[in-house]
Amino acid sequence: MNFLSGEYECKIDPKGRLVLPAKIKANLPEASGNHVVLMRGFEPCLVLYPKAEWKVIYDKVAGLNEFNEEYRHFQRNFFRGNTEIELDGAGRFIVPKTMGRFAELEKEAIVVGLGNRVEIWNPDKYEEFLIKDQQNFSQLAQKFLGDKPAEEPLV
């Protein structure tokens, strides 16, 4: 599996196109080709998934019981506005206007690789959602990662 990683400052051109950073584009799984899915994030950002990764999430959400009101409500909000996008040869795509407004994207964006997905942020909003206190960050690392035994090296 290819991991999407890094933090990049990007421009959005006057036509509303964003160019994915070359390192992100190069790490998109070949199985997805140039097809990605763009959705609204839970925070005020956009989330871009390679098509193969999106399929895994889609199956989970679509598999919820449609006769359960809470599930339907979640599905409706989760799937609204999701857009399948084909990147052009330069790795560009047009950010749909409604999504750009949701994430408050204008001329600049921060693109962040998070393993199986990419988040696209307004630079000011991104700063608001980062952990500022290094001690707090260290405590979270201990909480989430510190109690796991080290994995045996692969031979």
Q: How far is CA 81 from the centre of its chain?
A: 15
Does 6 score more than 90 pLDDT?
A: yes
105, 125 in Cβ contact below 8 A? Answer: no
Does 127 score more than 70 pLDDT?
A: yes
pLDDT of residue 32: 72
pLDDT of residue 134: 93
Q: Which residue is it, tokens 């991104």? A: 126
Q: pLDDT confidence of 50, banded at 50, 70, 90?
A: very high
Residues contacting 107, CB < 8 A, separation 6+: 11, 12
How much is the average pLDDT of 127-131? Answer: 92
pLDDT tens digits along 91-116: 999 999 999 999 999 999 999 999 99
62, 118 in Cβ contact below 8 A? Answer: no
pLDDT of residue 149: 58
19, 10 in Cβ contact below 8 A? Answer: yes
Q: How far is CA 41 from the centre of its chain?
A: 7
Rounded Cα–Cα distance for residues 58 and 78 (Å): 10
Q: pLDDT confidence of 153, banded at 50, 70, 90?
A: low
Does 152 score more than 70 pLDDT?
A: no
pLDDT tens digits along 21-41: 999 998 988 877 789 999 999
pTM: predicted TM-score of the whole model, two decimal places:
0.87
DSSP state letters, 47-82:
EEEEHHHHHHHHHHHHTS-TTSHHHHHHHHHHHTT-
Q: pLDDT confidence of 148, banded at 50, 70, 90?
A: low
Q: pLDDT confidence of 3, banded at 50, 70, 90?
A: confident
CB atoms within 10 A of CB 24: 21
121, 110 in Cβ contact below 8 A? Answer: yes
Task: Give me the domains of the chain, ranges plus CATH numbers.
Answer: 7-129 (3.40.1550.20)
What average pLDDT is seen over the chain?
91
> What are the residues facing 109 on neighbouring strands?
10
